[in-house]
């Protein structure tokens, strides 16, 4: 893995239409309006710095999973907004810090093996590259901290870096203090994480003139370990911005769905599930999400805020949010397919045009038939209705069909003796059974 990149693996077409909002005096004011500054070093100095000549700045991402998630997307979009203001981003993927893992509030992380971390470094790097531009005066670079730590000896690390850190200060960092007071405790490995992150900032300052690091506010102790180290070693001021941890208005954790993170990788979270997550945003949260996760300007967002207030039933803000973020992450074509699939699932489109992964994702929460039903077919409509729980008995199922209340794959079934097999199924396997307008279930004939 090399330390720099001059171009991304796959360019995101959405980059061409992105811009900051010219109604703000400078990017610092826009970041504040969008709610992206929770804590920072000197605000007036930062505003002056960001309003002046181009600077180099960075954010780090550890490969503790094979994909980034929505919390990481906040940071990536901050990188992009600063780039659009003319500054030069460094996207750091932690090939070395990923071998340790940032300390969590609760318990020690499970250490992944080196081959796994190396593989994940490549995945994350490719994801980050899609959101940044690698052309022009503000071209981005990708870096890997394994390049400057991989050959570093323990003695050199302790002599050159460790001597600048005071244990009394380190143990006061919020996460460290929490872990020290817990039954779990904290290992020296995770305790040393803040020293490694501080060293990252120092190396990027020396190699690229990097003077700003961004990250989540829960990383503030790690962010300031770098600014403090640069001040002690180089005698200059560096800066840090901590974005707020985003939570829902009801206090629940943002970015979770049924206990799982909302990942940026389509294999881990389908475009359909991704779109539905945003579409289901509460009225109380949707404007804040538009500010953080889209490039819509202030006037556009204020119009949507009025729509939420005056016509909440139309859910225009949620539809806009879902379109914007899903298009940004997965592309407009995938987003259009998701919308078409949603319409088709609910009887307003052609189900046969929906691809198999989208059908599987869109129907994942529907009731299903008992295992082994049909084993390839044919299966009668009455049995399908009963097996899926849409009808409580065969006699009720027959009445439903005779009354015109049953359909298979959006085609009404008029004959109670009708049977269906794989030849009738979507992609040779799926039957979408409907009773009335809203009651649906899915049968997979291949199970």
Q: Is 415 helix (H, G, I), strand (E, B) or coil?
A: coil
Which one of 120-124, 354-358, 360-364 scores highest in mean pLDDT? 120-124
Question: In the beta sheet, which residues pair with residue 56?
Answer: 88, 210
pLDDT of residue 2: 41
pLDDT of residue 241: 98
Q: What is the DSSP string of 334-366?
A: HHHHHHHHHHHHTTSS-GGGS-HHHHHHHTTTS
pLDDT of residue 5: 45
**Is 157 in contact with 38 (CB distance < 8 Å)?**
no
pLDDT of residue 254: 83
Q: Angle at Cα 347 formed by Cα 341 and Cα 352, nearest 5°?
A: 50
Please compute the mean of the pLDDT values over residues 355-372 and round it to a whole number: 81
Per the prediction, the chain carries an average pLDDT of: 90
pLDDT of residue 163: 87
pLDDT of residue 122: 96
Cα end-to-end span (Å), the chain: 43
Domains of the chain by start residue, with CATH: 13-243 (3.40.50.620), 256-348 (1.10.240.10), 379-444 (3.10.290.10)
pLDDT of residue 56: 98
Pick from 40-49, 128-137, 183-192, 332-341: least confident: 183-192
Please compute the mean of the pLDDT values over residues 144-152 and round it to a whole number: 92
Q: Could you tell me the pTM of the whole model?
A: 0.89
Strand-pair category, 141-144 with 88-93 = parallel
pLDDT digits (tens, 9 = 90+) for 180-213: 877 777 777 788 888 899 999 999 999 999 999 9
Task: State yes or no: cis peptide before 168, omega within 30 of 0.
Answer: no
pLDDT digits (tens, 9 = 90+) for 262-274: 999 999 999 999 9
Q: Which residue has the higher pLDDT, 246 or 131?
A: 131
pLDDT digits (tens, 9 = 90+) for 383-433: 999 999 999 999 999 999 999 999 999 999 999 999 998 889 999 889 999
**Sign, CA torsion 106/108/110/114:** positive
**Is 216 in contact with 142 (CB distance < 8 Å)?**
no
Pick from 109-118, 279-288, 306-315: least confident: 109-118
Please compute the mean of the pLDDT values over residues 310-327 and round it to a whole number: 98
pLDDT at 84 over 80: yes
**Total Cβ atoms within 10 A of residue 352:** 10
pLDDT of residue 67: 96
pLDDT of residue 312: 96
Q: What is the DSSP string of 20-53?
A: --TTSSSHHHHHHHTT--SEES-HHHHHHHHHSS
pLDDT digits (tens, 9 = 90+) for 338-357: 999 888 888 787 888 888 88
In this prediction, what percent of the chain has a pLDDT beyond 90?
A: 65
pLDDT of residue 120: 96
pLDDT of residue 147: 94
pLDDT of residue 375: 59
**Sign, CA torsion 125/127/128/134:** positive
Question: In the beta sheet, which residues pair with residue 257?
Answer: 260
Q: Which residue has the higher pLDDT, 118 or 260?
A: 118
Q: Which residue has the higher pLDDT, 240 or 190?
A: 240
DSSP state of 166: -
Backbone angles phi, psi at 278, to 5 degrees: -70, -40
In this prediction, what percent of the chain has a pLDDT beyond 70?
A: 94
Closest to 114 measured CA to CA, from 171, 162, 185, 63: 63
- Split at pLDDT 50, 70, 90, the class of 259 is low
pLDDT digits (tens, 9 = 90+) for 157-178: 888 888 888 887 877 777 777 7
Distance CA 394, CA 358 (A): 31
**Sign, CA torsion 78/83/87/91:** positive
- Split at pLDDT 50, 70, 90, the class of 3 is very low
Backbone angles phi, psi at 284, to 5 degrees: -70, -20
pLDDT of residue 166: 83
pLDDT at 6 over 50: no
Q: Which residue has the higher pLDDT, 149 or 171?
A: 149
């Amino acid at each position: 893995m090399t330390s720099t990149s001059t171009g991304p693996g796959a360019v995101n077409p959405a980059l061409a239409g992105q811009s900051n909002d010219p109604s703000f005096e400078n990017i610092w004011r826009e970041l504040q309006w969008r709610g992206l500054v929770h804590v920072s070093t000197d605000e007036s100095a930062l505003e002056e710095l960001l309003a002046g000549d181009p600077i180099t700045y960075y954010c780090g991402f550890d490969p503790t999973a094979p994909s980034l998630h929505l919390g990481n997307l906040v940071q990536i979009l901050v990188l992009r907004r600063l780039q659009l203001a003319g500054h030069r981003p460094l996207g750091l993927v932690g090939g070395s810090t990923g071998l340790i893992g940032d300390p969590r509030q609760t318990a020690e992380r499970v250490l992944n093996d080196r081959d796994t971390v190396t593989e994940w470094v490549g995945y994350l790097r490719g994801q980050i590259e899609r959101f940044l531009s690698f052309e022009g005066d503000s071209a981005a670079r990708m870096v890997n901290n394994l390049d400057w730590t991989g050959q570093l000896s323990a003695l050199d690390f302790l002599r050159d870096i460790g001597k600048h850190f005071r244990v009394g200060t380190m143990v006061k960092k919020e996460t460290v203090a929490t872990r020290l007071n817990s039954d779990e405790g904290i290992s020296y490995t995770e305790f040393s994480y803040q020293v490694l992150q501080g060293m990252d900032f120092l190396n990027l300052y020396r190699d690229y003139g990097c003077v700003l690091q961004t990250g989540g506010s829960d990383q503030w102790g790690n962010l300031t370990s770098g600014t403090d180290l640069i001040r002690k070693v180089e005698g200059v001021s560096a800066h840090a911005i901590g974005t707020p941890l985003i939570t829902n208005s009801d206090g629940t954790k943002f970015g979770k769905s049924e206990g799982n993170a909302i990942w940026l990788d389509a294999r881990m979270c389908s475009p359909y599930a991704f779109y539905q997550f945003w579409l289901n945003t509460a009225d109380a949260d949707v404007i804040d999400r538009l500010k953080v996760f889209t490039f819509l300007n202030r006037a556009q967002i204020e119009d949507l805020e009025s729509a939420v207030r005056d016509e909440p039933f139309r859910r225009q803000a949620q539809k806009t949010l879902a379109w914007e973020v899903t298009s940004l992450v997965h592309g407009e074509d995938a987003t259009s397919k998701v919308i078409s699939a949603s319409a088709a699932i609910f009887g307003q489109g052609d189900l046969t045009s929906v691809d198999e992964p989208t059908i599987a994702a869109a129907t994942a929460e529907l009731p299903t038939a008992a295992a082994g039903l049909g084993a390839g077919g044919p299966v009668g409509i009455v049995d399908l209705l009963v097996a899926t729980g849409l009808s409580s008995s065969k006699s009720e199922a027959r009445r439903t069909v005779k009354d015109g209340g049953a359909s298979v794959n959006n085609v009404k079934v008029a004959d109670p003796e009708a049977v269906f097999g794989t030849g009738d199924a979507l992609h040779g396997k799926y039957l979408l059974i409907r009773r009335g307008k809203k009651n649906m279930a899915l049968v997979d004939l291949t199970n």
